[in-house]
Structure 1
């Protein structure tokens, strides 16, 4: 059941899906902003853009799993780790200075 579905009983499926996707992106954006404040993530990236790209990646991977065209494995986890390293972690591998 999608996040937020109990509040949407009786709503069209499109509304429920839209709400769940928006909440998922918002949650990722908040995590990126938190990581920036803590000095864990680079502060030169736009949290909204990172959230859109990361959720698109994970949603695409999930769709492949659900349709049976792909199985989850270490390689998939590696793709996500690579994305986070490339997009959010400082190039020298160290975290940014906390604000």
Structure 2
């Protein structure tokens, strides 16, 4: 049951369109808070909050480079999860 609880926590953390978009972006490359905010069309403080939640859940890692902090995926398995979500949702009609 512990594994299912962790899976539930992970999915709960990802259950926001901005956080899913962040994962899509981080699949491609590492990004700073400002870059992610721009790509997602949100303010920096909102991007920081999403990143904080995702990092606390163990989904992201951060690395400082000069004055910026760059984020990347902590779990490569998120790539397959996003591919599965995109495949499943690709069949949906809006």
TM bucket (normalised to shorter chain) is under 0.3
Q: Greater share of strand residues, 1 or 2?
A: 2
TM-score under structure 1 length normalisation: 0.27
TM-score under structure 2 length normalisation: 0.28
Greater length-normalized contact order (CA 8 Å, ≥ 6 residues apart): 1
Between structure 1 and structure 2, the one with the greater Rg is 1
